[in-house]
Amino acid sequence: MTEVADSLTHQSTNNAHALLGPPDLEVVNMTKRFGTFTALENVSLKLKPGTFHALLGENGAGKSTLVKCIMGFYTPTSGEVLINGQVESIGSPRDAHTHGIGMVYQHFTSVPAMTVAENLVLSRFDNTNLINWKKEFEDLSAFMETAPFKVPLDMTIAQLAAGQKQKLEILKQLYLQSKILILDEPTSVLTPAEADEVLGLIREQVTDSKLSVLMISHKFREITAFADEITVLRKGQFAGNGRVKEMTVSEMAEMMMGEKREPQKVEKTLHGEPKAVLEIKDIHANKDNGLEAVGGVNLTVHSGEVVGIAGISGNGQRELVEVLAGQRPATAGEVLVDGQVYTMTRAEMFKNRVFVLPEEPLRNACVAHMSVAENLALRTFDRPPQAKGILLIFKAIREMAVGLISSFKIKTPSPDTPVGNLSGGNVQRTVLARELSEDHIKLLIAANPCFGLDFAMVDYIHGQILEARNRGVAVLLVSEDLDELLKLSDRIFVISGGTFAYESKIEEADFAAIGQSMAGH
Ligand SMILES: Nc1ncnc2c1ncn2[C@@H]1O[C@H](COP(=O)(O)OP(=O)(O)OP(=O)(O)O)[C@@H](O)[C@H]1O
């Protein structure tokens, strides 16, 4: 295809979409089975043009399965998608795109080494062989002029902060002329201020009838601030819907859980004389590309204390946690536990009773193709009672798994299901169950422990962390959720550019100063 013809084809598809407002989207009696397990049963939902619709439900309720059926990632077992009243067969995200439907994921999908402009052009579904970059750049500049947020076209993705990356993911969909945006927990990597900014700008597009939005969210604050309507799923079935203005948060929560639940409150209590448990001394560590990620940090966590580390992702906190978990070498400095040099081997972790909840548990703390029971046993499989005779092993592993599945309410078809088949929140529960169920923890290092969990589970985990603290456990909590840090921490640090930019006792913490340090000012 010639440059001109190619460019014309692209423009004509764009223009066809651009002139129209969002279509009416309806899901009718959608059912999706995985083998004998029914993840979604007869669910219907209406997304009226120019509305902001939130999709709620506990972990494993079927939210992602529903949107994946709409997007054509999954073929529904039965049920239909209607667009402007017409039954449409959507067999792939490309089909969804031709109907103006686009999805923004929890995690970024742009190519880090390429520029914003290159990523935008690459995201198009046309089979472009030849790209006229001069023309593309002009078109992109014109698009950026009218876009609700600005991201510099010539910067590489690696240079962008998390907030800008998420804005780019949304811009990509606007560039593709998507009229229906499906957002899967879009703010989980943003600070509260960034989340409000991004959702506020999307809300304006919805109010102007340029977009419709279907957003999966666990955050009631965002739902009440930005959404018009909700649909609630429970155990794969429709549990209710309604207009946000006419509902209270506890009514929404009740719809999700099927029962009224009061939030659990754990008070902080004073523990005996605090002892230094974890001492981090001038630790340096590199990123995967060899550049320095952690530039010399010092920190002590005492028994009976939660020390929080706030920071926008990409400021060295991931690498610091990986050093502490024995997954990345430190280039300088040392770590002490109970005053002794600590080398993070599995044997030392066991001896010192150190427990780690890393980020992205499916990648860092699970073996995706192994069963839930095997993953729950990863810490203890080589110790009695799980390691005597071969039969006893399986029996003990299974018994332990059944107990943990029940107490941590892990939604899994069976203990033998591969952990990779569980919903995101239930993978997180599996790792939490394994790491928090031990009675004898001395030091707990947790990175974003509540990422992607529903409100009831967040409440439960917060309670577990505080109870551990009250028992005298030293807790290092690394989180991108400031509300969580302010609620749980006794002292708070902000990491920015690989060093601590702020430190305070929680009673004296200054919210504005924390925000500014996070932003690197
Ligand atoms: N590919 C798959 N194979 C087997 N079971 C699956 C598969 N995908 C999802 N499931 C199951 O379907 C159920 C619904 O999962 P889904 O991911 O839709 O939940 P969700 O509401 O999005 O949860 P979360 O809030 O935790 O992301 C879960 O019990 C999950 O284990």
Instruction: Output Rg (C-alpha) for the chain, integer angstroms.
Output: 24
CA atoms of 490 and 268, how far apart (whole Å):
9
Q: Which contiguous run of DSSP H or E holds residue 80?
A: strand 78-83
Count CB-CB contacts under 10 A for residue 89: 9
Dihedral of CA 128/132/137/140: which sign? negative
Question: With contact defined as beta carbons under 8 Å apart, do 58 and 253 qualify?
Answer: no
Q: What is the pLDDT of residue 297?
A: 96
Instruction: Check pocket membership of 105 for ligand 1, CB cut-off 6 A.
Output: no
Token couple for 61: 């309720």
Token couple for 51: 């509305």
CA atoms of 518 and 513, how far apart (whole Å):
8
Count CB-CB contacts under 10 A for residue 509: 20
Question: With contact defined as beta carbons under 8 Å apart, do 87 and 139 qualify?
Answer: no
Q: What is the pLDDT of residue 262?
A: 63
Find tokens 């409150």 and name the residue: 265
Q: Angle, nearest 10°, between helix axes 192-207 and 162-175?
A: 20
Instruction: Check pocket membership of 358 for ligand 1, CB cut-off 6 A.
Output: no
Please name the amino acid found at residue 512.
A
Q: Please give the class, per CATH, of domain 266-353+441-521.
A: alpha beta
Instruction: Check pocket membership of 232 for ligand 1, CB cut-off 6 A.
Output: no
Q: What is the pLDDT of residue 344?
A: 84
How close is the Cα of 407 to the center of ligand 1, in Å?
Answer: 19
Residues of the chain within CATH 3.40.50.300 domain(s) are 3-257, 266-353+441-521
How close is the Cα of 187 to the center of ligand 1, in Å?
Answer: 20
Q: Please give the class, per CATH, of domain 3-257.
A: alpha beta
CA atoms of 336 and 281, how far apart (whole Å):
8
Q: What is the pLDDT of residue 261?
A: 66
Taking the CA of residue 35 as reference, the ligand 1 atom at the shortest distance is 4
Instruction: Check pocket membership of 34 for ligand 1, CB cut-off 6 A.
Output: yes
Question: Ligand 1, atom 24: nearest CA belongs to which residue?
Answer: 59
Mean pLDDT by 10 residues, the chain (521 residues): 39 48 95 93 96 93 95 95 94 91 82 86 72 82 84 86 82 90 84 81 92 93 95 95 94 85 73 90 92 95 96 87 91 95 85 82 82 85 54 74 89 92 86 78 89 82 89 92 89 95 92 79 64
CA atoms of 69 and 75, how far apart (whole Å):
6
CA atoms of 121 and 14, how far apart (whole Å):
13
How close is the Cα of 66 to the center of ligand 1, in Å?
Answer: 10
Predicted model pTM: 0.75
Instruction: Check pocket membership of 39 for ligand 1, CB cut-off 6 A.
Output: yes
CA atoms of 62 and 378, how far apart (whole Å):
28
Instruction: Check pocket membership of 423 for ligand 1, CB cut-off 6 A.
Output: yes
Token couple for 313: 């992702």
Q: What is the pLDDT of residue 7?
A: 39
Instruction: Check pocket membership of 425 for ligand 1, CB cut-off 6 A.
Output: yes
Q: What is the pLDDT of residue 478?
A: 95
Instruction: Check pocket membership of 62 for ligand 1, CB cut-off 6 A.
Output: yes
Q: What is the pLDDT of residue 42?
A: 97
> What are φ and ψ of residue 457, in 5° steps?
-70, -35
Token couple for 397: 């592993």
In this prediction, the answer to ipTM > 0.85 reads: yes
How close is the Cα of 64 to the center of ligand 1, in Å?
Answer: 7
CA atoms of 385 and 72, how far apart (whole Å):
46
How close is the Cα of 425 to the center of ligand 1, in Å?
Answer: 9
The Cα-based distances of 385 to 178, 377, 395, 430, 437 in angstroms read 56, 11, 10, 20, 16
Question: With contact defined as beta carbons under 8 Å apart, do 447 and 361 qualify?
Answer: no
142 SS3 class: helix
Q: Which of 58, 31, 72, 26 is closest to 212 using CA atoms?
A: 26
Q: Which contiguous run of DSSP H or E holds residue 293?
A: strand 292-302
Instruction: Check pocket membership of 214 for ligand 1, CB cut-off 6 A.
Output: no
Q: What is the pLDDT of residue 68?
A: 95
Token couple for 19: 């002139």
Instruction: Check pocket membership of 448 for ligand 1, CB cut-off 6 A.
Output: no
Question: Ligand 1, atom 1: nearest CA belongs to which residue?
Answer: 421
Token couple for 237: 């079935």
Token couple for 52: 């902001």
CA atoms of 305 and 491, how far apart (whole Å):
8
Q: What is the pLDDT of residue 382?
A: 55
Instruction: Check pocket membership of 361 for ligand 1, CB cut-off 6 A.
Output: no
Instruction: Check pocket membership of 69 for ligand 1, CB cut-off 6 A.
Output: no
CA atoms of 231 and 229, how far apart (whole Å):
7
Question: Ligand 1, atom 20: nearest CA belongs to which residue?
Answer: 60
Burial 234-260, CB ≥16 within 10 A → b, else e: bebebbbbeebeebeeeebbbbbbeee
Q: Which of 278, 361, 359, 349 is closest to 322 using CA atoms?
A: 359
Burial 92-104, CB ≥16 within 10 A → b, else e: eeebbbebbbbbb
Q: What is the pLDDT of residue 159?
A: 80
Q: What is the DSSP track for 24-49?
A: PEEEEEEEEEETTEEEEEEEEEEE-T
